[in-house]
Amino acid sequence: KNQVEQSPQSLIILEGKNCTLQCNYTVSPFSNLRWYKQDTGRGPVSLTIMTFSENTKSNGRYTATLDADTKQSSLHITASQLSDSASYICVVSGDSGGSTLGRLYFGRGTQLTVWP
């Protein structure tokens, strides 16, 4: 069964600290993995997208890693800010051969709270 599991479910950190969010998936075949940030009551916004051949990708203070062999990804946030408080969603795309859109599998998200 194709699944995406995220941990922890929720996380509280102090402003300025670093944190790492985890994503394990069983989706096969695999096309790409995306991390989205979703503020409360808003639509998700893409942070990074990685294909099978990419091990790491950065977007400012956000760095995502991918190990396609173990089917694990992580999102590392450096020097957290209050505005980082949000839900972070891992999304895995199943490979459709490229001719049509791939099926997306969503994790339940990690709720991050940054305290001053």
Binding residues vs other proteins (CB under 8 A): 4, 31-32, 34, 36, 41-46, 49, 51, 89, 93, 100-102, 104, 106-109
Report d(CA 24, CA 78) in Å as an integer: 21
> Smaller CB distance to other proteins: residue 9 or 116?
9
Q: How far is the CB of 116 from other proteins (least distance, A)?
A: 26
**φ, ψ for residue 79 (rounded to 5)?**
50, 65
Q: How far is the CB of 22 from other proteins (least distance, A)?
A: 15
Q: How far is the CB of 10 from other proteins (least distance, A)?
A: 10
Residue 103 per-residue DSSP state: P
> Smaller CB distance to other proteins: residue 45 or 82?
45
Give me the residue label for tokens 């051949």: 53
Question: Residues for the chain: how many in total?
Answer: 116
- Sign, Cα dihedral of 107, 63, 65, 74: negative
Q: How far is the CB of 18 from other proteins (least distance, A)?
A: 26
> Smaller CB distance to other proteins: residue 60 or 98?
98
List C-alpha distances in Å: 27 to 23, 85, 109.
12, 28, 17
> Smaller CB distance to other proteins: residue 45 or 79?
45
